[in-house]
Amino acid sequence: MTSRREMNRHYAQAVICELQRIGYSSEQAKGVFFRHYRDMKRTFGLEPNVHDFAMLIDEFERAINRKYNPNDPNSIYVGHLRDRLKRKNDGIKTM
């Protein structure tokens, strides 16, 4: 009988291989996987099959890296929040 940890390891390896099939290089696939795995696992668990989980990670990665387009109704400008956070963090560092 295989342990839960071993099953998770095989699932993770399969997702990384699927990310490589989508078009990521080996190093990129590992980086993207480890960057988003914990959040995606908490949200979706290990219920989706490997292909679907890899597609969710790819969609999440592309959404994060997408540039703001004011003509796109699906884009939300958050630059003012980013600037506000930077000012707040700079204020903490100077104290």
Residue 40 tokens, joined: 């995606």
Instruction: For the chain, state the CA radius of gyration.
Output: 18
| pLDDT above 70: percentage of residues in the chain | 93
Q: What is the pTM of this model?
A: 0.69
Question: Which of the four pLDDT bands, split at 50, 70 and 90, describes residue 1?
Answer: low
Q: Which residue has the tokens 């390891």?
A: 9
Taking only the tens place, the pLDDT of each residue in 33-66 is 999 888 888 888 778 899 999 999 998 888 888 7
9, 12, 17, 19: CA torsion to nearest 10: -170
